[in-house]
Chain A
Amino acid sequence: MPALEHILVVNAILFAIGAMGVLTRRNAVLILLSVELMLNAVSLNMVAFAVYGQVDFGNITGIVFAFFIIVIAAAEVALALGIVVRTFRNRATANVDEVNLLKW
């Protein structure tokens, strides 16, 4: 088995790459892809902690949380893509910096 620190460092790099995508991309769907990368890093972390026995609730809780994260990510993707398709129909763009209807 790889050491826990190595898994955590790999997940941190994956999380940072996802954050970079969120901060640099313009297309809403590509930003969503980057958010999914960050979610994957987090759920991988939870599974790693559960398998290596870092939590007191027994071996299972982190794995169940990873399962719930995957389910909620599926719901989130469906809703977000619905919003993107609707925005594209109304505004003819999927770039988040061109959808500037809300201003103050």
Chain B
Amino acid sequence: MEDGVTATQVVFWILAVVMLVSAIGVVTAGNIVYAALFFIAALAGVAGIYLILTVEFIALVQLLVYGSAVVILILFALMLTRARERPQALFGRSRPLGIAAALGLLAALIGAIVATTWSTPETSAAIQPVGLQAIGDAIFTIWIVPFIIVGVLLSIALDGAIMLASPDEDDN
């Protein structure tokens, strides 16, 4: 397994390239709807990498929550708020500064990753796939209080979103 390149690694690099190219498309596309479509491709790439990491539960949640619900919300917001009357520039004035700051951040992160010694398992066989039952056990025993809190938070946030977006009584 450690000699040469395995099929899993090939699939990982294909997914990584698709994900990163789509992510670049999200931040550079000239059309906001294209940016949203690139975002779907990037999310699908992330879900595929979750599958490679043997956590199929998170991959499914990713596709269901991000790939469908969040993307539909974002498409609605893009189409509701598109300024039709004038062609708008999509990038701010400080774009070169932003690109330089992002590149500096990338250099710092990669430098930290390379400089650190990671104590990874020697063989891939040492990596145990995490079963769905183990995740369920953890969420509903150890993490049950955060789980309830996050459920309350989600319902409050969605109620707040509806209140924010609904028209006032004294509008018009």
A residues with a Cβ closer than 8 A to B are 1-10, 12-30, 32-34, 36-37, 40, 43-44, 47-48, 50-54, 59-61, 63-64, 66-68, 70-79, 81-86, 88-89, 92-95, 97
Which residues of chain B from 85 to 136 have a CB within 8 Å of any chain A CB? 88-92, 94-95, 97-99, 101-103, 105-106, 109-110, 113-114, 118-121, 124, 126-128, 130, 134-135
B138, A64: Cβ atoms closer than 8 Å:
yes
Q: Which A residues are in CB contact (< 8 Å) with B162? A: 82
Q: How far is the CA of A32 from the CA of B55 in the complex (A)?
A: 26
| Proximity bits, B143-156, A CB within 8 Å = 1, else 0 | 10011001001100
Q: Which B residues are in CB contact (< 8 Å) with A34? A: 26-27
Q: Is the interface of A mostly helix, strand, loop or mixed?
A: helix
A81, B62: Cβ atoms closer than 8 Å:
no
26 A-B pairs within 8 Å (CB atoms) are namely A1-B6, A1-B9, A2-B8, A4-B118, A10-B16, A14-B42, A15-B105, A24-B91, A26-B88, A26-B90, A33-B26, A36-B66, A37-B42, A47-B53, A47-B58, A51-B55, A52-B120, A59-B130, A68-B143, A68-B150, A70-B65, A74-B70, A79-B157, A81-B77, A81-B165, A93-B83
B143, A27: Cβ atoms closer than 8 Å:
no
Q: Is the interface of B mostly helix, strand, loop or mixed?
A: helix
B residues with a Cβ closer than 8 A to A are 6, 8-9, 12-13, 16, 19-20, 23-24, 26-27, 32, 35-36, 39, 42-43, 46, 49-50, 52-55, 57-58, 61-62, 65-66, 69-70, 73-74, 76-78, 80-83, 88-92, 94-95, 97-99, 101-103, 105-106, 109-110, 113-114, 118-121, 124, 126-128, 130, 134-135, 138-139, 142-143, 146-147, 150, 153-154, 157-158, 160-165, 167
B150, A73: Cβ atoms closer than 8 Å:
no
B50, A77: Cβ atoms closer than 8 Å:
no
Q: Which B residues are in CB contact (< 8 Å) with A68? A: 143, 146-147, 150
Q: What distance in Å separates the Cβ of B8 from its nearest Cβ neighbour in chain A?
A: 6
B124, A18: Cβ atoms closer than 8 Å:
no
Interface centre among B103, B147, B157, B163 (most CB of A within 10 A): B157
Q: Which B residues are in CB contact (< 8 Å) with A8? A: 113
Q: How far is the CA of A50 from the CA of B57 in the complex (A)?
A: 14
A82, B32: Cβ atoms closer than 8 Å:
no
Q: Which B residues are in CB contact (< 8 Å) with A48? A: 53
Which residue of the partner chain, among B52, B76, B99, B143, contacts A64 with CB atoms under 8 Å? B143
Extra A-B contacts (19), CB below 8 Å, given A1-B53, A63-B55:
A5-B113, A17-B23, A24-B95, A25-B91, A26-B90, A26-B92, A28-B81, A30-B32, A33-B39, A36-B39, A51-B130, A52-B118, A53-B126, A63-B135, A66-B55, A72-B154, A78-B73, A82-B162, A82-B164
